[in-house]
């Protein structure tokens, strides 16, 4: 079988080497398409692939149509909003992700961004500490749980809101359970987003919630830009001169935000939550193992399009 890694944002070399060892060790071939600059390159590379490993690369219905032999696609990472699951299902292609594998890297970055914003974007001037501040975690999944664990080390007070996780499972970590999203936003000095981008969550974070944050509040987004209502974010930042926004996924209107609000906003130059060798190795090797197991035994653990 031919396994293609198609990554516009490449894996660390150690991850590619590890994937190659697993894939070739199982008797398959590995092909590599990195830093491609047009979808045509992707269409050409995927044409004879039996399996595909991607990161945030968009597996659209056009990619699926171009991939005549494709049997399985694995998103090496958590969020799978980049996969057209319906197109995969229609063609009988199994789609998977690798949940939890890059969570620690994202959690560490979330805390790093909080420190950065608390310390005047690392420019001279008196900053503040995370210790004693309240952190609201929106969605208590793999990343949310790790953010809580790391934030505890900083001495933060932590609360979380997740309607899909039983309150007891949150409380056992020493994390308070917010009664509602409004409750979370109104009590948190920092809110850290860990929701996926779905039809329900897109544009769900806007004026109503952000205007409830206490003085000096900071929204931390290592999730997806699509969950933010960007027009309303702009409005609330203009009205509330104390609020801050830090993101790992630049907003569509980021240039305007930067120009209007200066150091109160910051976006990383490219999404780098999962940009660590460890995260690449964890997620990349998990993807390779899942593919080999699927070909060897038909194993469909982590299948998304059931
Ligand atoms: C994920 O959903 O796993 C993260 O957003 C990481 O995405 P990346 O692999 O494109 O860095």
172 and 234 within one domain: yes
109 and 92 within one domain: no
Task: Name the residue at shortest CA distance from atom 11 of ligand 1.
Answer: 274
237 and 156 within one domain: yes
* CA–CA dist 207, 104 (Å, integer): 30
Task: Name the residue at shortest CA distance from atom 6 of ligand 1.
Answer: 274
Residue 226 lies in a domain: yes
Residue 113 lies in a domain: yes
SS3 state of residue 182: helix
What is the block-wise mean pLDDT of the chain (306 residues), using blocks of 10 residues?
98 98 98 98 98 98 98 98 98 98 98 98 96 98 98 98 98 98 98 98 98 98 98 98 98 97 97 98 98 98 96
110 and 34 within one domain: no
14 and 132 within one domain: no
Domain ranges, residue 238:
103-267
Nearest atom in ligand 1 to the alpha carbon of residue 76 is 9
Task: Name the residue at shortest CA distance from atom 10 of ligand 1.
Answer: 56
Tell me the CA–centroid distance for residue 287 and ligand 1, in Å. Answer: 13
199 and 258 within one domain: yes
28 and 67 within one domain: yes
Which residue of 16, 35, 55 sits with most ligand 1 atoms within 8 Å of its CB, as the best mutation to test the pocket?
55
Residue 39 lies in a domain: yes
| Exposure string over 81-117, b if 16+ CB within 10 A, otherwise e | bebbbebbeeeebbbbbbbbbbbbbbbbbbbbbbebb
The whole-number pLDDT of residue 239 equals 98
Closest CA to 33 of 14, 50, 57: 57
Q: Give the side-chain half-sphere CA count within 13 A for 203.
A: 6
280 and 218 within one domain: no
Residue 162 lies in a domain: yes
pLDDT digits 0-9 by tens, 73-120? 999 999 999 999 999 999 999 999 999 999 999 999 999 999 999 999
Residue 190 lies in a domain: yes
Residue 93 lies in a domain: yes
The whole-number pLDDT of residue 219 equals 99
pLDDT digits 0-9 by tens, 40-50? 999 999 999 99
Task: Name the residue at shortest CA distance from atom 5 of ligand 1.
Answer: 79
The whole-number pLDDT of residue 52 equals 99
The whole-number pLDDT of residue 149 equals 98
216 and 162 within one domain: yes
113 and 97 within one domain: no
Q: How far is CA 215 from CA 143, 210, 211, in A?
A: 26, 11, 10
| Exposure string over 238-249, b if 16+ CB within 10 A, otherwise e | eebeebbbbbbb
157 and 45 within one domain: no
What CATH number did the domain enclosing 239 receive?
3.40.50.720
* CA–CA dist 95, 302 (Å, integer): 8
The whole-number pLDDT of residue 189 equals 98
Nearest atom in ligand 1 to the alpha carbon of residue 224 is 5
Q: Which residues line ligand 1 (CB under 6 A)?
A: 9, 55-56, 77-79, 102, 271, 273-274
Which residue of 11, 76, 77, 225 sits with most ligand 1 atoms within 8 Å of its CB, as the best mutation to test the pocket?
77
182 and 56 within one domain: no
Residue 303 lies in a domain: no
Residue 52 lies in a domain: yes
Number of folded domains that form the chain: 2
């Amino acid at each position: 079988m031919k396994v293609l890694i198609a990554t516009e944002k490449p894996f660390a070399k150690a991850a590619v080497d590890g994937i190659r060892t697993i894939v070739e060790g199982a008797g398959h071939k590995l092909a590599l398409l990195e830093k491609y600059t047009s979808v045509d390159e992707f269409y050409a590379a995927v044409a004879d692939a039996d399996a595909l490993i991607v990161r945030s690369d968009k597996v659209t219905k056009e990619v699926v149509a171009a991939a005549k032999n494709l049997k399985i696609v694995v998103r090496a990472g958590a969020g799978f909003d980049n996969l057209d699951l319906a197109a995969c299902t229609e063609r009988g292609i199994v789609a998977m992700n690798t949940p939890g594998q890059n969570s620690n890297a994202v959690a560490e970055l979330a805390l790093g961004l909080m420190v950065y914003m608390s310390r005047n974007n690392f420019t001279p001037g008196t900053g503040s500490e995370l210790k004693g501040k309240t952190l609201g975690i929106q969605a208590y999944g793999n990343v949310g749980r790790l953010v809580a664990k790391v934030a505890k080390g900083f001495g933060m007070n932590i609360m979380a809101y997740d309607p899909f996780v039983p309150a007891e499972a949150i409380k056992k970590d020493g994390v308070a359970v917010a009664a509602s999203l409004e409750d979370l936003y109104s009590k948190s000095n920092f809110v850290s987003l860990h929701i996926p981008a779905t039809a329900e969550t897109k544009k769900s974070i806007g004026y109503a919630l952000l205007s409830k944050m206490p003085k000096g509040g900071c929204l931390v987004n290592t999730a997806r830009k699509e969950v933010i209502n960007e027009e309303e974010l702009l409005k609330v930042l203009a009205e509330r001169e104390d609020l801050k926004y830090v993101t790992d996924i630049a907003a569509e209107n980021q240039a305007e935000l930067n120009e209007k609000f200066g150091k109160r906003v910051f976006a990383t130059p490219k999404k780098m939550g999962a940009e660590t060798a460890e995260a690449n190795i964890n997620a990349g090797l998990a993807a390779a193992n899942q593919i080999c197991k699927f070909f060897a035994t038909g194993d469909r653990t982590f299948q998304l399009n059931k």
